[in-house]
A and B are shown apart, each in its own frame.
Chain A
Amino acid sequence: MTARTVLRNEWRLLMADRPLRIALGLFVVLLGYALTNGVVWLRFQERTVEATKSGNVERASALEQELEVIEAGGQPFSPFADPRSPLVLGGPSGSQTAVLAPGPLTALAIGQSDLLPYYYDVNVYTNESSFHQNGEVENPLNLMVGRFDLAFAVVYLLPLLVLALSFNVLSEEREQGTLALTLSQPVSARNVVTVKLAFRALLVVGIVLGVSLLGALATGGFGSPDRILLWSFTVVAYSLFWFMLAAWVNTLRRSSAWNATILVGAWLVLVVVLPAAINAAAGLLHPLPSRVEMITAQREASNEAVNRRSELLARYLEDHPEMAEGVVADEPGLGALSWAATDAVNRRLEEVAAEHDARRAEQIALVRRYRFLSPALLAQEVLLDAAGTSDARFAHFQSQVRAFAEQWREFFVPAILADEQMNASVPANVPRFGLADEGSTDVARRATVPLAVLGGLLALVSAAAGVGLGRVRGAD
């Protein structure tokens, strides 16, 4: 009996089993639905990204025109927003929207992209509190429940299908009495089970990867082959983990019903209970600091700053001698004074934010340690990272916006301090935000540890299954 015979028989058996056929069909339908959902979301984000870009162009050209009118002897359109003032041209009315393009595989995993902001308006007033934004308009109820995307289908539903296909891979033969017959042929139990599982794994992984690649093809995800590779690798490792778990349980020589109960229990614990318990334990042991105190700090800093503007300006100029050029020390302009106050508030906010971020990073590091207990958490982490919708990519974007805001300030602040006037040539020369997206090496580096652990878990169950299968005798 060759592997081909086993494969052919398996295919016939599978096609004869109506419930399984229905389950497989349903799975394909659900995957298609999940992909459609992701594509709709991706298109929505892409439209917004386009709108922010054209908004940038419109704003800049409107200000340029206004400045040209003023230079030709006209009046500013509003006496309160004279674009010749650097606080206006570099302020909210001249701000530039820095935007993060959707992750290359957003269609496969919506991830955090419905919760975290993906664009910020940057101007001279951008500070740490500017990052407290809501992101996309979304019903909080929908955020709470989550979306039906491919990542969800892979993490939650794929294991169930795997278990339905393989919970009785060996026990059924024993119950039907065909095991002894099969093993009387020149094959080992290990071979039979391997071929049977390989066939099922090819089927399941083939379907999932097929749909994933289709999604990547439809949405231009092939621009990042490394990410696709990472995604596929995770799907394969995660599915194999469940197949091997089923194989191992089958070697325990219990009934099919017992296998089914144990495997469903394992799914429940590893996919549903453990992640939730880990989150709860982490929240209880290492609660995240709340941001509420930041509001109070901001208020107090600005109250104080307003009263000490001259003093703050003096200190600011001491700290930034390169900016002092053009500032009349005895009679500083209003712009310079108000900037000194703004800067003092920004510094204070940075302190509070740094303190908060340090505590948050510490706690998240602790929380992340527990995730090694659950293959579902590990798989979810790498899948989102591969898709470019993980927390890490948004944090990377935020740090770039922070740097860009600094660049923006460097451009405008000298003029603010010196009370200089802006002219029509300025809008064309302001700094432009260009996202240096994280490289695939960054993603790969982050994925190494969770993938290694997932691989370790897979090796562990595979070894157990291998040893168990070596002991299987037809006469049991």
Chain B
Amino acid sequence: MIRHIVRKEFTDMIRDGRFRWCSILVGSLLLVSLAHGWVQARKAHEEHAAAQATAREHWETQGEKNPHSAAHYGVYAFKPRLALSFVDEGVDPFTGTSVWLEAHRQNDFLLRPAQDATAAQRIGALTAAQVLQHLVPLLIILLTFGAFAGERERGTLRQLLATGVGWRELALGKALGTSGALALLLVPAALAGAAALVMANPGPVASPVARGVVLACVYLAYFVAFLALSLAVSARAKSARTALVFMLAVWVVNGLVAPRVAVDLSKWLYPTPSAFEFARTVEREMATGTETISRPDMTESNERLLAEHGVERVEDLPINAVGAYLQESEEFGNRIFDRNYGALWDTFRRQGLLQEALAAAAPSIAVRTLSMGLAGTDVEQHRHFATAAETYRRDLMRQMNGDMTQNSLTGDFSYAAGAELWESVPPLEYEAPSLGWVLGNRILSLAVLGAWLAGAVLLASAQVRRAEVA
């Protein structure tokens, strides 16, 4: 029996002009956005790879100079585009793409692509993720709002039940029929996405295929939850119109209102300092230190070195005392940066977590979070790269100051190192976090999405059981 229901629903759907047109629209938007994302990601990836290679070349061919001058010269790091970012560009347009790694200071990531675009782009960027998160659920609503309510209005529900079919079978049949019709649209897109993933230069990401599979599962769970919710409402609603209006309201709140309200709430609960305040605090602490982090003192540092080496004058030291002091102040600076940037990142993290929790009211937030996480374009993975770049900077400074300390004497400003030293610094090799790391960060969203899925399915089966025939 259930086979017949599935086939009837499926045939209904694909013969329905409205469904055909909506599906063609959503399907082509999905394919266009995938193609768009792929082209963009590929271009960005090539650009960044080229820029990174040039930056390395600049470093290696900077000529002979004092290692500390080289430290000031520094290198640029460019954030790589990860393989799956073509599905979901996430926060990438709003984070900087490159950072200057230089002596004495941790710089911000600069050049946010969104700053070069117009306000119009903020009204809606068409990415595959946007289509999947917003348009596909809408299509599901349009397909299912009349599933029970419509049949009830037409009086065919009574006839149907008279054939002896159970409510549960009927609901399952309708769900499967709709899913089959949706699959006509989603499976080709998924295949296209998979093909693009294999064809594209995957970039530095661990297990892109596994990430892709989990991503597909997340969206599948979201769609099933929406399908179940919509069927439940259709079973419960007095008329098809009520079901449609209710589900549209859910859609507006879920996709449009709740995410923005969540942003405002998270900002009110966990405010960030102004850029001006932040810069001032760092500047002040760098100049005077804090209660627990004291600024290194050159005299003290020299005395310690003199005692260590058992000599009277800094000129007699076998090492360069200035190099040692520079490294000390570098480490002092690092503690100040860790303190301030750490606090800022933690505030961002708390804001993100609160928004994830608010997904309890709007599952689109959970899906969005998971989608960005798996695509490697969320704030946490930006932080991951920023931390890798900063660690690289610190190693580089240590190496430069170390060379200066060991290979020159105090007061010797003529010492110059050459290409040998520059080349001995390994290039920045970024390793993107593993799938486990990403999912570990996103347990809350996984739980909330799971709860929505389970809740929607339970609600659907409860409503269908209690549904009225007429």
Contacts and interface: CB of A to CB of B under 8 A. Distances in A.
Given A257-B241, A292-B78, A381-B119, A140 B94 contact: yes
B115 A116 contact: yes
B112 A276 contact: no
A264 B262 CA distance: 25
Contact of B120 (A152, A257, A303, A380): A380
B389 to A, nearest CB: 14
Q: Report the interface size class on chain B.
A: 35 or more
Interface string B21-40: 00001000100110110011
B130 interface: yes
B152 to A, nearest CB: 14
B74 to A, nearest CB: 10
Nearest to B262: A145
A136 B275 contact: yes
B48 interface: yes
A449 to B, nearest CB: 14
Contacts, number: 206
Nearest to A37: B264
Given A140-B91, A140-B95, A157-B257, 5 more contacts: A140-B382, A141-B348, A141-B351, A145-B259, A148-B264
B203 to A, nearest CB: 16
Interface of B: 25, 29, 32-33, 35-36, 39-40, 43-44, 47-48, 51, 54-55, 58, 62, 76, 78, 90-91, 93-98, 108-126, 130, 134-135, 138, 240-241, 244-245, 248, 252, 256-257, 259-264, 266-268, 272-278, 280, 344, 347-348, 351-352, 355, 378-379, 382
15 contacts: A30-B257, A33-B261, A48-B274, A55-B276, A141-B379, A155-B123, A257-B244, A273-B25, A275-B124, A277-B126, A283-B40, A290-B111, A295-B55, A299-B55, A384-B119
A256 B135 CA distance: 24
Nearest to A156: B256
Closest 10 CB pairs between A and B?
A280-B126, A276-B124, A276-B126, A140-B91, A148-B260, A140-B94, A143-B94, A137-B275, A291-B111, A139-B348
A261 interface: yes
Interface of A: 30, 33, 37, 40, 44, 47-48, 51-52, 55, 111-112, 115-116, 119, 132-148, 152, 155-157, 160, 256-257, 260-261, 264, 268, 272-273, 275-281, 283-284, 287-288, 290-296, 299-300, 303, 360, 364, 367-368, 371, 376-377, 380-381, 384, 390-391
A144 B93 contact: yes
A279 B120 contact: yes
A141 B275 contact: no
A221 B333 CA distance: 44
Contacts of A371: 120
A461 to B, nearest CB: 21
B3 to A, nearest CB: 31
B49 to A, nearest CB: 11
A144 B260 contact: no
Nearest to B348: A139
Nearest to B25: A273
Most buried by A among B55, B120, B382: B120
A384 B122 CA distance: 12
Contacts of B273: 137
Contact of A141 (B62, B110, B125, B352): B352
Given A156-B256, A257-B240, A296-B54, A44 B274 contact: yes
Nearest to B275: A137
Given A146-B122, A277-B126, A284-B35, A139 B352 contact: yes
A321 B40 CA distance: 48
A135 B94 CA distance: 11
A134 B260 contact: no
B36 A280 contact: yes
A299 B116 contact: no
Contacts of A147: 260, 263-264
Contacts of B277: 48, 51
A425 B269 CA distance: 48
B117 A142 contact: no
A381 B121 CA distance: 11
Nearest to A255: B241
A148 B261 contact: yes
B276 A367 contact: no
Contact of B111 (A260, A280, A292, A360): A292
B36 A142 contact: no
B263 A148 contact: yes
B116 A291 contact: yes
A87 B261 CA distance: 48
Given A279-B120, A288-B117, A273 B135 contact: yes
A72 to B, nearest CB: 25
Contact of A295 (B35, B51, B117, B119): B51
B115 A115 contact: yes
A77 to B, nearest CB: 11
A134 B44 contact: no
Contact of B123 (A157, A367, A377): A377
A446 B339 CA distance: 46
A213 B461 CA distance: 49
A352 to B, nearest CB: 13
Given A134-B110, A371-B120, A145 B263 contact: yes
A115 B97 contact: no
B121 A279 contact: yes
Contacts of A303: 58, 62
Contact of B119 (A37, A112, A142): A112
Contacts of B111: 132, 290-292, 294-295
A359 to B, nearest CB: 10
B263 A146 contact: yes
Contacts of B276: 48, 51-52, 55, 119
Nearest to B59: A299
B135 A279 contact: no
Contacts of A367: 118, 120
Nearest to A49: B276
A402 to B, nearest CB: 16
Contacts of A391: 118-119
